[in-house]
Structure 1
Amino acid sequence: MMVLAALPLSACASSTNIGLNETHAASEMEQARGDKDTQITLTTGALEAKARAKIVQLEMLMEQARAQNIDVTREETTIWFANEFLKFANWDENNQAAVEYAFSQYRYWADESKERAAAVPDFQRKEVHNILDKSIAEMRQILSGEVQRRPVNKVDWQNITVADNKILSGGRPIFLYDYFSKSVGRPLTDKDVYNDHLGAIYHGGQRLYDVDHDRAINSFLMNEDGSWNEERLGYLTEIPDTNVGFLYFWNMGIPKWVEQREPEVRKGRSLFTGYDIDNPLVRDLWGKIIRKTGAMTKGKKVTQLGFVMANEPHWFSEKGHWTAPFQEMQEISSYTRAKFRLWLKNKYSANIGQLNKNWGTNFKSFDKVEIIVPISRETRGKPIWYDWSRFNMDRSIDWFSYIQGELHKVNPDAHTSIKIMPNMFTENARSHGIDYEALTELTTMIGSDAKATEGRLLRETEPQNWESKYSYFWEELSLSYDFMNSVSPEKIHFDSESHFLSASGFRKMDMTPEYVRNVYWLATLQGMDVNTGWFWARDPDGSFEDRLEGTLNFFDPALAGSFVGSVNQQPQVANAVTQIMYDMNSFSEEILALREQRRPIRLFYSETSAINKPYHMTEAFEAYESLFFEGFPVGFATQKIIEKQDNRNWDVIAIYKTQYVTDAEFVALQAYLNGGGTIIMDNMSSLSMNEYGVARTAKLNASKGKIIILNGINDLGAFKASLLKEAAQGRPDIILSEDNGTAHKGVTWRAVKQSDGSYLVNALNIGINAAKLSLKKRDGSLLNATDMMTGKKLGASFEIARNGILLLHVEQK
């Protein structure tokens, strides 16, 4: 593994201007950068001195720009980060023991902790040079008139309107940004950490891991005698009523008095939900706490973005899962067992004989039914696995329905979301108790905790599937976002812990700003309205936040190693995050127009197949990936979507490798055909069984609609071609062609026709190579494109860099 000391400056440099498209300013940047080889060999003192000279140089250019009424918000942020990271580098250099210890806590780098700690101060200083070089080059282009850019649409953090499906600032759509659990220990009014550069959303989870001083809503707010812990309630009331914000329901702990009264309360706990959600005392306690705090905070700005009802909930209940050492679902309580028995009785219409037939058992009655939890993975695909997994989902739906209901009793307009990790949907596991569709539908906002990585997960020793085709791992982000937005298209999407920059299993010290810009743009294009990234843990003097000082010993060991290799040590990454948010907020109307497009093709999703099949989501992604680069957003259909949404919102439903569906799902598909809908199915094995693997004798009937059954086995190409043909009228009437030197497309694009006949086109290159693009109308007419971010004329053919972003105004020649 390469250590930081081995990273040359050029490995961290880029030919991309912050705020500009990648292809426009390489020569100017090289001129501004100066002699790179000389820069690398500068002493620490000289590195800082030269950086400060560049700050002065940039400030002089900014004065010229101001004199011409040119907005310099982007440059102000670059200078702020430059000064901060020069300070941080000095702190790291003067506190080598602390930095080395921090590196030692990240298991993948522990053996190199000394070398990495020694290298990181100058690494940061060199990255400061990079962001200044790029900003100087860009400012020169702006002043020369070579490039025109829009002024930044700055967030007015104290005057935010939360509309039905968008956030507004000054009447314009805005995308909010911040960092999760930012600089724990700092007051919310500290301008050094709450500002335009880092974001300024107030959140009550700022001190989540310190129960005694927790601003989040937790189990310790009420005493055993029913009185309130006024000191802890005070942590909520002391939050300034100035900035937009949100509050957490933090579910880790449970008071000792509850454990004494309910010895089973820890049975059925999960990693971040430290108690049994079926326990009646827990439900009573939380109901009272939610009603109290919901009433206290009603109408406050800190709840404008609502209440996050759980942090990364899941209840993995299969043997051998990685959550077992955290005591997740290692046994279940008598309350859960009784609830399961009642669920089974209702599911089987009180017919114990049918259950025994399915399970291969001989229980005398439903109140005698037993099950071993954690359940064996060998039972997947069998009725007992389906029944337990489906019940595990239904009981979590019941829990979240209850706590949301208690909140809405006292604060009916309160927004809610759940910070669900999207891999609960995109990965194949299904013993986790998370019904992604039901919980997305339940809450008033979409909630998520998405991950993307510019590189392989560090625990992987073999190449991952995406590496040969794409510049980064985007599957979890895109697949989950499109599914959630198909379920709830009119809801604001709040990603309250985005892991685009680092995750427990991923770090990359030479992360490129191009990747950062691309992934934030992609997430926003696919629906993200608010994000708080993981995470900002520097105090203003450069030291670590309160939680990360001293001995690091947490229940969740991932936190101990979370600082190193994060945004807190990467000036280019930190600057790129804010710069891309500035750019997107300058084009917020255009981005909304692009993402609110109709989804002409809907992939049918069945939780029934996902529960039963070991690789259903792997197969579902095959179909999704094949359509992702065709000029329109991919959509999903489910039984509920078909029943509740206007079926005219799409042209065709695609059914791919979906063998198991319930009778209710089958009936919904038939009703869609009865109403004149169109279905394309891969082969007769899809829809062939019910949830218990019993063969279905009924077949879909075209009725007033149209059904095409391809009878192909693994012929994804024919499946895709048939879908595109059937949805031709719903696709853009322009064509973007791509040549990237591979057999795989890598540019995902969208086009919206404007009222004047022109087109708004967005192209994002997530492919492994740069690509040559060309635009034309379907009737063969030629087109001219203008880069809206730079004002440059591109014509009908042009290039897009790896991780490039193009927002184009396209007119007919």
Structure 2
Amino acid sequence: MSNINFCKHLLAAMIAAACVSCGSQTQVPNAQAPSTQSPETEASLTLKETALQKIHTLEALMLNASDQGIDVTREETAVWFAKEFLKYADWDEANPAQIEKFFESYSPFKEQKSEYASYLPQFEREQVIVILDKGIDALTKVLAGEITRRPVAKVDWQNIDVKQDMFVSKGKPIFLYDYFSKSMGNPTSDERLYNDYLGSVDHIPSINPYWLKQDGTVQDWRMGQLKNYPNKDVGYALLWNSGIPDWMLEQEPEIQKGRSLFTGFDIDNPLIRQSWSTIIKETGKASASHNATKMGFILSNEPHWYSEKGHWTQNFGEMTSISTYTLAKFQTWLSNKYTNIHELNNNWQTNFGDFQSVAIDIPVDPSIRGSAKWYDWCRFNMDRSIDWFTFLQNELHSVNPNADTSIKIMPDVFTENNRSHGIDLEALTELTTMIGDDAKTRGRDLRSQTPEEWEAHYAYFWEELAVSYDFMESVAPNKIHFNSETHFLSSSWWRELDTSPEYVRNTFWLATLMGMDAGLSWFWARDPDGSPEERLEGKLEFFDPAMAGSYAASTGMQPQVANELTQVMMDLNSYSEEIMALRKQRRPVRLFYSETSAINKPNHMTELFKMYEPLFFEGFPMGYATQNIIQKQDNSSWDVVVVYKTEYVTDAEFNALQSYLNNGGTVILDSATSLAKNEYGQPRQAVLAAGQGRLITMPTDADESDIKHKALEFVSANNPLVNLTEVNSTGHKACTWRVVKKPDGKGYWMTIVNLGSSSANLVITAKDAGDLTATDMLTGKNLGNQFDLASNGVLLLELN
């Protein structure tokens, strides 16, 4: 909803609220259960009084259900959030100036700060009533036998086993949930913040360079704090790299050259490496076998080193120059890359006398993208960050070889077109023992003045989540996937105060289906008394450009959002074995990915998505193939590799594809222009040959649909096991789905996620022409084999 439309909603709601005091009936949006009060009685109650009455009604139903042996964890959750948000609404109502300041700090809401602040308490109470009405309605139907549901499988936060590719609780897969940066200033032992409702993922104090004293030893009080940390709930450690102590600055004047937004130092600096070696070894030893590090060490928060002129990170001093250490490292890298300086000069069109005299202007001018100099710098920038994270992990494993690791990588560094950032997602995903990220989904970017392209078909922007997850899961199919800062509920340039609970369920279901084993949502900033956390009580001056505006329209202001996040995770955990079976499937179609083309081309990822998108809705998980995947993984894990608009590849990448063909593989080439150049744009004389496999080069007039249908010809007949036919108002497939045979061989499990902007009419048929009937596993209702699924709808089905 746009700011203008929402303001109209605010004004209408404020008028309705004013009528409460004069006896008019308050309109409660989306109430789904009959009122427990007569119209005359309810009209005379305030919103808070109405909510309290509904809490009483729901608690009475819960007592009745418990007496009958019915699990009421879902209703306990709704009541907990209802009581919390009534408290929050009271605080917000008593502190309008503070709330107005938060809305003022987020520029898209700044002009309507007074309206937002004035309406917020009413909005929160209205939403509390909605979640209570839903709870009353659902439990009433359970008691009447209209719906059946599986009891909630609660997380045993203190007894989590870390298996190769999953967290396990009570012998079954478990999906962990919580909030990153949860109400700073409160201990993780506070059960008002760490519980089954908000999640109870622990974390040891953030580790940073300030832990080290000038004499090269770690602060005694820090080590004592770590050694005495309570060994209770499962958790993680985070290496926080933003700042450095003054003594390091005095000792190494260049130490901040080449710094980035969240890495406040030069990763090539010897003092930094020596310091981090000491810190990570000491903390690694002290926290070994501790529950609070079972989810591993996050080696960095959102690392990137954007190094081109004009990028927004330049405003924050990122990569405005490089140190002599980095330059020397680049010169050595070039000397290993090239046979001699003459070869480099020919490529760069320069006249350096030797490698030691090679220089480059940083930040680089993006106008040289596609040149040899651009490629060499971008590739080196990636290689040096790989070296940095390899160093950190090796130091940790030298003292704690069993420590898990991940990196909170922003997936948009992969899904967007820029490649000057120094992040090789494939290499870093291979390196660490867990997959790490902070993927986002969103509605329309609040800076957009017109609808975005995806809005023609979809309910929200899902590209970043899906593309990056399919890629990372293709690279590391047998690793735990830890999203340590999910941005599904808000991001820097998107949030809606009236975010729908259907959107919440859809995004978390999709992310979990695609591989996410744990997700810490951004962010929970309420103290238990309803006030904002301590960082938000001052002047809101932060180095992080997004922090000051983060509280406005965040989850702590939205009862339906907070409640639905927990409800969907409880449902996913109650059916965790089915979800794991649905996501552990072959990826029969692999889209070839070359970092070489991504570096050289200004729009490679945009082009590649046009081929990925139509294949995403065919009933199987999409996959990627790279040189490393082809060389390191079992090639029988897929049926066909599609090469699409990939003009630039190294000889090694080309040879990997040829080897795959020689061993009997199938490759579809979109045109003769793909694979035609090396990393420097020089024509390649060799062309792919079929070898022992099949090589299909598409006609020049073939489009993405033609290539998709050709690829599907080579997909094995049992992938997928059933057919799903979709009809919607846009004429564009938007339901992604998975199906798997049940362990007993009698029927199937199926999940369907509607990403579309409209309702979809769906028909399920068996490939063997037998009849199928679908049962909604979350409600026990029979749907037959034809039914509608609303926009943002999610289904988990049993097919018989």
TM range (shorter): over 0.9
- What value does the CA root-mean-square deviation take over the aligned residues? 1.9
Residues 331-374 of structure 1 show CA distances to partners (whole Å, capped at 9, x for unaligned) of 0000000000000000013x111111111101111111010010
Residues 302-324 of structure 1 show CA distances to partners (whole Å, capped at 9, x for unaligned) of 11000000000000000010001
Q: Which residue of 2 aligns with 1:248?
A: 238
Matches within 5 A, 1:29-44: 30-32=32-34
Which residue, 523, 531, 535 being the options, matches 1:547? Answer: 535
Q: Which runs of 5+ in 2 are unaligned?
A: 15-27
Q: Which residue of 2 aligns with 1:16?
A: none
TM-superposed deviation, 1:779: 3.6
Which residue, 550, 553, 566 being the options, matches 1:562? Answer: 550
Q: Which residue of 1 aligns with 2:20?
A: none
CA contact (8 A) 1:787 1:794 kept: yes
Q: Which residue of 2 aligns with 1:731?
A: 719
CA contact (8 A) 2:217 2:278 kept: no
1:533 aligns with 2:535: no
TM-superposed deviation, 1:781: 2.5
Matches within 5 A, 1:757-776: 757-776=746-765
Q: State, as a whole percentage, how many aligned pairs show the same letter.
A: 55
Q: Which residue of 2 aligns with 1:343?
A: 333
TM-score (norm 1): 0.94
Matches within 5 A, 1:202-221: 202-204=202-204, 215-221=205-211
C-alpha spacing 1:33/1:720, structure 2 compared with 1 (3 Å): farther
- Paired residue secondary structure (1:726): coil
C-alpha spacing 1:743/1:687, structure 2 compared with 1 (3 Å): same
**Counterparts of 1:533 and 1:36, CA distance in 2:** 40
CA contact (8 A) 1:188 1:239 kept: no
Larger CA deviation: 673-682 vs 234-243: 234-243
Q: Which residue of 2 aligns with 1:521?
A: 509
Matches within 5 A, 1:645-664: 645-664=633-652
Q: Which residue of 2 aligns with 1:413?
A: 402
TM-superposed deviation, 1:233: 3.1
C-alpha spacing 1:42/1:717, structure 2 compared with 1 (3 Å): farther
Residues 539-562 of structure 1 show CA distances to partners (whole Å, capped at 9, x for unaligned) of 000001011112111111310110
Q: Which residue of 2 aligns with 1:78?
A: 78
C-alpha spacing 1:714/1:358, structure 2 compared with 1 (3 Å): farther
Q: Which residue of 2 aligns with 1:207?
A: none
Residues 629-675 of structure 1 show CA distances to partners (whole Å, capped at 9, x for unaligned) of 10000000000000000000000001010000000000000110111
TM-superposed deviation, 1:41: 8.1
TM-superposed deviation, 1:9: 12
CA contact (8 A) 2:179 2:524 kept: yes
Q: Which residue of 2 aligns with 1:292?
A: 282
TM-score (norm 2): 0.96
Please identify runs of 4+ aligned residues in structure 1 that moved more than 6 A: 8-12, 34-43
The one-letter code matched in structure 1 to 2:147 is V
The one-letter code matched in structure 2 to 1:611 is I
Q: Which residue of 2 aligns with 1:753?
A: 741
The one-letter code matched in structure 2 to 1:809 is E
The one-letter code matched in structure 2 to 1:387 is D
Larger CA deviation: 232-241 vs 47-56: 232-241
1:382 aligns with 2:375: no
Q: Which residue of 2 aligns with 1:141?
A: 141
**Counterparts of 1:468 and 1:718, CA distance in 2:** 22
The one-letter code matched in structure 2 to 1:294 is G
C-alpha spacing 1:445/1:462, structure 2 compared with 1 (3 Å): same
CA contact (8 A) 2:13 2:119 kept: no
1:781 aligns with 2:770: yes
CA contact (8 A) 2:32 2:130 kept: no
**Counterparts of 2:703 and 2:359, CA distance in 1:** 43
C-alpha spacing 1:713/1:292, structure 2 compared with 1 (3 Å): farther
TM-superposed deviation, 1:784: 1.0
Q: Which residue of 1 aligns with 2:218?
A: 228
CA contact (8 A) 1:243 1:302 kept: yes
The one-letter code matched in structure 1 to 2:334 is L
**Counterparts of 1:315 and 1:655, CA distance in 2:** 29
Larger CA deviation: 707-716 vs 328-337: 707-716
**Counterparts of 1:248 and 1:226, CA distance in 2:** 21
Larger CA deviation: 793-802 vs 607-616: 793-802
Matches within 5 A, 1:455-494: 455-494=443-482
**Counterparts of 2:624 and 2:44, CA distance in 1:** 55
Matches within 5 A, 1:706-717: 706-713=694-701, 715-717=703-705
**Counterparts of 1:10 and 1:135, CA distance in 2:** 27
Matches within 5 A, 1:526-675: 526-675=514-663
CA contact (8 A) 1:11 1:510 kept: no
C-alpha spacing 1:418/1:38, structure 2 compared with 1 (3 Å): farther
CA contact (8 A) 2:218 2:279 kept: no
CA contact (8 A) 1:310 1:419 kept: yes
The one-letter code matched in structure 2 to 1:164 is Q
Q: Which residue of 1 aligns with 2:21?
A: none
C-alpha spacing 1:139/1:29, structure 2 compared with 1 (3 Å): farther
Which residue, 2, 5, 8 being the options, matches 2:4? Answer: 2
- Paired residue secondary structure (2:384): helix
Q: Which residue of 2 aligns with 1:719?
A: 707
**Counterparts of 1:92 and 1:304, CA distance in 2:** 37
1:194 aligns with 2:194: yes
The one-letter code matched in structure 1 to 2:773 is N
Q: Which runs of 5+ in 1 are unaligned?
A: 13-25, 205-214
**Counterparts of 2:399 and 2:73, CA distance in 1:** 42
C-alpha spacing 1:37/1:126, structure 2 compared with 1 (3 Å): farther
Which residue, 343, 356, 377 being the options, matches 1:354? Answer: 343
C-alpha spacing 1:555/1:666, structure 2 compared with 1 (3 Å): same
Q: Which residue of 2 aligns with 1:212?
A: none
**Counterparts of 2:335 and 2:379, CA distance in 1:** 14
Which residue, 427, 430, 435 being the options, matches 1:441? Answer: 430
CA contact (8 A) 2:590 2:641 kept: yes
Matches within 5 A, 1:144-183: 144-183=144-183
**Counterparts of 1:296 and 1:424, CA distance in 2:** 34
1:790 aligns with 2:744: no
Q: Which residue of 2 aligns with 1:19?
A: none
1:317 aligns with 2:307: yes
CA contact (8 A) 2:416 2:606 kept: yes
TM-superposed deviation, 1:236: 2.8
The one-letter code matched in structure 2 to 1:197 is Y
CA contact (8 A) 2:257 2:321 kept: yes
